[in-house]
């Protein structure tokens, strides 16, 4: 009985609300196989639910957009998201552009209520974070700018 309790609390610890950060944090884990106790949603090939179905991004960064995106971040996102992989209220943004498709990110940030109710990846994250990300009323322009800022944060030049 005691053993089982310990097992459960370890598994809960490892399920941090941080998307990509999960793997790194498993180092302290005693039994890595417990990671597979819960179904892991596939993260990388989901496009989410919303109007963005096919987004082609330039290889190079659009610096003007990224600068604009940073302003949006400062006002509307910073309270809950760090730029590292550390969780605040929501997951840190480091690596977000590699663990999610651009369509998924754009759909999530412009259609957050529907995504949190119906998209399996978003729903799984909500289950871990326990806070529903509020609709930030982004225009499409803002959304693309924030995405560009995320790409800059992930090292796109």
The least CB distance from residue 39 to ligand HEC, in Å, is: 17
CA angle at 12 for the pair 7 and 14, rounded to the nearest 5°? 100
The least CB distance from residue 5 to ligand HEC, in Å, is: 26
The least CB distance from residue 61 to ligand HEC, in Å, is: 17
Q: Is 14 in the site for ligand HEC (CB under 6 A)?
A: no
Backbone angles phi, psi at 21, to 5 degrees: -70, -15
The least CB distance from residue 155 to ligand HEC, in Å, is: 16
Q: How far apart are the first and last CA of the chain?
A: 53
Q: Is 89 in the site for ligand HEC (CB under 6 A)?
A: yes
Q: Which residues 6+ apart lie within 8 Å of 138 measured at CB?
A: 72, 76, 109, 110, 146
Q: Is 152 in the site for ligand HEC (CB under 6 A)?
A: no
With beta carbons less than 8 A apart as the criterion, state whether 6 and 29 touch. Answer: no
Backbone angles phi, psi at 103, to 5 degrees: -60, -40
Report the residue from 25, 38, 76, 82 that binds ligand HEC according to the rule CB under 6 A. 76
Q: Is 109 in the site for ligand HEC (CB under 6 A)?
A: yes
With beta carbons less than 8 A apart as the criterion, state whether 120 and 47 touch. Answer: no
Report the residue from 83, 94, 106, 126 that binds ligand HEC according to the rule CB under 6 A. 126
Q: Is 118 in the site for ligand HEC (CB under 6 A)?
A: no
Tell me which residue has its CB nearest to ligand HEC.
90
Binding site for ligand HEC (CB under 6 A): 19, 72, 76-77, 79-81, 89-91, 96, 100, 105, 108-109, 116, 125-126, 129, 131-134, 136, 138, 146
């Amino acid at each position: 009985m005691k053993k089982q309790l310990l097992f459960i609390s370890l598994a809960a610890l490892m399920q941090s609300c941080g998307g990509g950060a999960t793997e790194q944090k498993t180092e302290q884990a005693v039994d890595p196989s417990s990671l597979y106790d819960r179904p892991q949603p596939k993260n990388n090939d989901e496009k989410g639910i919303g109007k963005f179905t096919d987004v082609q991004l330039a290889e190079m960064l659009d610096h003007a957009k990224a600068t604009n995106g940073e302003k949006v971040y400062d006002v509307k996102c910073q309270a809950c998201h760090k730029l590292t992989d550390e969780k605040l209220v929501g997951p840190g943004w480091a690596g977000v552009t590699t663990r999610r498709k651009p369509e998924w990110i754009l759909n999530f940030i412009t259609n957050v209520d529907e995504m949190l109710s119906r998209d399996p990846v978003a729903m799984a994250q909500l289950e871990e974070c326990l806070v529903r990300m509020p609709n930030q009323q982004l225009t499409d322009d803002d959304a693309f700018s924030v995405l560009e800022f995320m790409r800059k944060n992930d090292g796109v030049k």
